[in-house]
Structure 1
Amino acid sequence: MGRTILAAVALLSVTALAGSATASPSSAGGHFDRPQRGFAPGETVLRDGTPEEVGLDPTPIDAALQQIAAWTERTPGREHPMYAGAVSLLVHDGVVVRREAVGKEQRYSDGAGTELPADQQEPMGVDTIFDVASISKLFTSIAALQLVDDGSVELDAPVAQYLPEFGVNGKQGITVEQLLTHTSGLQAEAQLWKLPPEQRIPSIMQLTPEHPPGTNYTYSDPNMITLGVLVQRVTGERLDRVVAERITGPLGMRDTGYNPPAAELHRIAATEFQADPPRGMVRGQVHDENAWSLGGVAGQAGVFSTADDLATLGQALLNGGVYNGSRILSEDGVAKMLTNYNDAFPGNAHGLGFELDQRWYMAGLSAPHTAGHTGYTGTSLVIDPLSRTVAVLLTNRVHPSREWGSNNPARQELAQGMARALAVRPEFGSASWFTDRAGTLTTDPLGPVSGPVQVSYSAFVDTQRDSDGSDPLLLESSVDGTNWQPVPVRAKGPGAPKDAQQQLAGSGHRSWWEVRGSVAAEPGQQVHLRWRYAPNDQYTGRGVNVDGILVADRDATLLDGELQADRLHPEDWTSTDR
């Protein structure tokens, strides 16, 4: 109960401006450094357009899409293509700015990767239907929260209140909320397909938790299988009917559902060639063995969808639960999906259903309320309320074999391309200095000085921030241009650290910081300064900008970066107006 109350308090940050859902669109479209508050206008309906008309730079988007296309073939460092094909879709401020299909829906004939004859391979289309795997969990979660909205289910109630057979073997205290946040203590997996049909769901009800409820985060399929059973028990309808009647139907998601009809097989991306169980090349049936063993309808997997349909779902949530006049969830329900309930488990931020702030696939779009989910088949959905952006990447990366590797680099590439397309406007003048890779921005020798040197500048920092100090921006000084020492700095602004720091890192605040530091120097010395970005983690943010550099001693201004840009020497930094 206590954690629910704390989470409810946290909701205020999302819902305080919920009334803005009916306001006119902001003029901040296309900006990364002007975060939106509250929900998008409820009447926002997706339409096609160009990046330029909503203030985006198309160049990083196009570069990301080119790389995603390249991964449909063998690339350096990979034995196989990353996936047979992919569909990418990007939305900003209600405008679909890119929709692109590459590669093949079906390319291989067996698990070894034998290619079909060219005339039997089927090209990917923008309307290709994908098995979205664990993205299905979002539909189950929304269905459960709809029951919370109408009072049929209470989040802090024991699951056993709705499923009495669940309340055995230490599960009596597991709550609905704990299923949604993966903190129930249940194990990660269960191999239901190896059991007789009549034992599959009962075996989930009989599980013994691996950890006491609420003490551990474990991403768990049994959590969502149980939640799906709960939805069915409370509504009296099968989960697929609930999803169709209460989510996909009202939103007009015509290509989304379970067990797609055989007539649509030509539009469905193939997944894996399975030998155990002996299913052959799986296409048009759910890839997940447990969902397959449950008839294709389960809480953790089973949904098939298209990029356009998932974008519609994303926009409905950005709108506060309403789309094209149909409301599927209250604003409070959406806020619960976008608020972290897992503060006790750093790195595993989770709303009620959604993963939050996961840099490993959200890349530069990450922020505390950035929501998303991935699917084992190679799918991902990212929803960034701060920029009102949706990024959908659907691939068939398990075709023909799950052993061919991950498509995480493609997930990162698309999200990072979109983040880079959003502008960070200079704080001063017409340009700031930017980098998203290791590099330095070094001054000419300054001085001779009259004593200690004061440095001030503005910094926009969107980087990975872990306990090991990943991806720092450092200000360093030297008296000989060879040996460098960190300069402690203090930053002021939203999300800035409270105390003096030897390096700056942070993400999600989307604001410029005012930064000041002091360099000890003896009269008569010359001082060299440099800004150094040192990413050392594979999951980076949008990058860093520095602007408004001003250096002075007690007698004079030594450097005005706005007037003397020629005295700053970039190595892998660029001057940019966005």
Structure 2
Amino acid sequence: MSRIIISLLFTAFTTFFGVAQNELIHAYPSKLGLDSIFISQKVDSIMQLGIKEQAFPGAQLLVAKNDTVIFHEAYGFHTYDSLQPVALNDLYDLASVTKVLGPLPALMKLVDEDKIKLDVPFSTYWKPWRNRKDKKDLTLREILSHQAGLIPYIVFLQKVIKNGELKNRFVRSTFNKRFEKRVNDQLYINRRFERKMNRIINRSKVSDEKKYVYSGLSFLIFPTLIEQLTQTDYQTYLHDTFYEPLGCHTLGYLPSLKHWVNSIVPTENDTLFRKTVVKGWVHDENASLMGGVSGNAGLFGTADDLAKMMLFYENYGAANGEQLISEETVKEFTKVQYPENENRRGLGFDKPLFNNAELPLEDAYPSPLASEASFGHSGFTGTFVWADPEKKLVFIFLSNRVYPTRDHRNLYDLNIRTALMDVFYKAQAIPHQN
């Protein structure tokens, strides 16, 4: 708990001198009426089980109640060699959590500014779809709620590998004007390959049956769309409009090209494409083939960064006395869109399972005690963010469950994240102990 004391002193000091409006406030769980001993014992037990069963080599958990961080602890190591312990300021590859922290706030802002509408054809803004019979009438609402009939995923890696070797016209080990986008420290991707990806997306099939099918395809093109609508570089727009005002100092793309002092947790030992341990470069192959900057994956961040973003959402677009996105828009994006089609999704955000409160813990997603107003997203690498504006709870879980390979699925099989979240809801109902 010494970290909490240090954080409290730092917050008090910097707030007094007027330089830390965006720093998180920390307090003991008991100060907010939660049972500290119950939380510590239950969380430690779940985390140790996860490490023992190789659900992940290490992880960290941050939980905020009433806009105050009541728990932030690290467990285990970066890898199974147990050499480098997980630290509270480590950077993680966020995988699909990128979707709700990258393109989504930008799209919400554009809806606010009436620069894009949810219920007109998306092809109004994305010209390549205007002449595609099966795509020209799809709306942004349908697309963001995974109701549009788009196919789930396209393996673009198949286009750059032949007989186990990288095609020289697409990927090279030397930098030049055509090969300027980075795959990692040793590989560069042809800058025209993104156009090829877009053409393949444009020609991809669309199902006639409109039902919930999770698809990340549109998120590959959102950054370019956002640049067109804002007339600003995508990364610059996110930094200036959201990350900087919210104090997310290490939330961003391509951390290996930045001068952050934070350690970066490795994700996977890639034996197929990059043929090395992926660390500091995006794990997702499609995002990698776009040079690491995409709407479906590519963001790296710390637990603090993610907490600030999710607290911003939990407070319906308000932060530091400023309304960055209107409350109306945030509420629209975070509500279920097509319940009549058994689609639980919001706009970009995931939502609890229908009848979640009635399910046993092992079948629920997330905790059965989470409110219907809650929302969040998970990431393939083992990341998870959730906000509950009704019960004022923010939950951040970070791990590299795909290390050393993505075959490690015990994070799901053991239901680690749901069990951890459930601890904090139950701790609110127990008489607290100091």
Of 93, 96, 100 in structure 2, the residue corresponding to residue 131 of structure 1 is 93
Q: What one-letter code is carried by the residue in structure 1 that aligns with 2:122?
A: V
Answer yes or no: is the 8 Å Cα contact 1:393–1:411 preserved in 2.
yes
C-alpha separation in 2, matches of 1:231 and 1:357: 29
Q: Which residue of 2 aligns with 1:299?
A: 295
Q: Which residue of 2 aligns with 1:317?
A: 313
Unmatched 5+ residue regions in structure 2?
1-20, 160-169, 171-192, 357-363
CA apart distance, 1:361: 4.0
Q: Which residue of 2 aligns with 1:86?
A: 59
Of 203, 219, 223 in structure 2, the residue corresponding to residue 224 of structure 1 is 219
User: Residue 224 of structure 2 aligns to a residue in which SS?
Assistant: helix
C-alpha separation in 1, matches of 2:326 and 2:43: 35
Q: Which residue of 2 aligns with 1:65?
A: 43
Matches within 5 A, 1:317-396: 317-346=313-342, 348-358=343-353, 360-396=364-400
Unmatched 5+ residue regions in structure 1?
1-42, 76-80, 109-114, 426-575
CA apart distance, 1:123: 1.4
Q: Normalising by structure 1, what TM-score?
A: 0.60
Q: What one-letter code is carried by the residue in structure 1 that aligns with 2:138?
A: I
C-alpha separation in 2, matches of 1:344 and 1:232: 34
C-alpha separation in 2, matches of 1:364 and 1:44: 32
Q: What one-letter code is carried by the residue in structure 1 that aligns with 2:291?
A: G
Answer yes or no: is the 8 Å Cα contact 1:204–1:222 preserved in 2.
yes
Of 411, 426, 433 in structure 2, the residue corresponding to residue 420 of structure 1 is 426
Of 259, 263, 270 in structure 1, the residue corresponding to residue 266 of structure 2 is 270
CA apart distance, 1:293: 0.5
Relative to structure 1, the CA distance from residue 163 to residue 370 in structure 2 (aligned partners, 3 Å threshold; closer, same or farther) is: same
Matched, 1:402 2:406: yes
CA apart distance, 1:244: 1.4
Answer yes or no: is the 8 Å Cα contact 1:56–1:421 preserved in 2.
yes
Q: Which residue of 2 aligns with 1:149?
A: 112
Of 132, 137, 142 in structure 2, the residue corresponding to residue 178 of structure 1 is 142
C-alpha separation in 1, matches of 2:366 and 2:94: 17
Q: Which residue of 2 aligns with 1:200?
A: 197
Q: What one-letter code is carried by the residue in structure 1 that aligns with 2:135?
A: K
Q: Which residue of 2 aligns with 1:411?
A: 417
CA apart distance, 1:192: 2.2
Q: What one-letter code is carried by the residue in structure 1 that aligns with 2:352?
A: D
Answer yes or no: is the 8 Å Cα contact 2:22–2:320 preserved in 1.
yes
Relative to structure 1, the CA distance from residue 191 to residue 265 in structure 2 (aligned partners, 3 Å threshold; closer, same or farther) is: farther
Task: Give RMSD over aligned pairs.
Answer: 2.2
Give the number of aligned pairs: 366
Identity %: 28
Q: Which residue of 2 aligns with 1:255?
A: 250
Cα displacement string for residues 24-55 of structure 1 (whole angstroms, at most 9, x for unaligned residues): xxxxxxxxxxxxxxxxxxx9973110111111
Q: What one-letter code is carried by the residue in structure 1 that aligns with 2:205?
A: T
Q: What one-letter code is carried by the residue in structure 2 that aligns with 1:330?
A: S
Answer yes or no: is the 8 Å Cα contact 1:63–1:417 preserved in 2.
no
Q: What one-letter code is carried by the residue in structure 2 that aligns with 1:290?
A: N
Answer yes or no: is the 8 Å Cα contact 1:134–1:373 preserved in 2.
yes
CA apart distance, 1:352: 1.5
CA apart distance, 1:265: 7.4
CA apart distance, 1:362: 1.8
C-alpha separation in 1, matches of 2:35 and 2:100: 31
Answer yes or no: is the 8 Å Cα contact 1:60–1:420 preserved in 2.
no
Q: Which has the higher strand share?
A: 1
User: Residue 123 of structure 1 aligns to a residue in which SS?
Assistant: coil
Answer yes or no: is the 8 Å Cα contact 2:314–2:389 preserved in 1.
yes
C-alpha separation in 2, matches of 1:319 and 1:405: 33
Of 113, 125, 136 in structure 2, the residue corresponding to residue 162 of structure 1 is 125
CA apart distance, 1:424: 7.2
C-alpha separation in 2, matches of 1:403 and 1:335: 37
Answer yes or no: is the 8 Å Cα contact 2:50–2:416 preserved in 1.
no
Larger Rg over CA atoms: 1
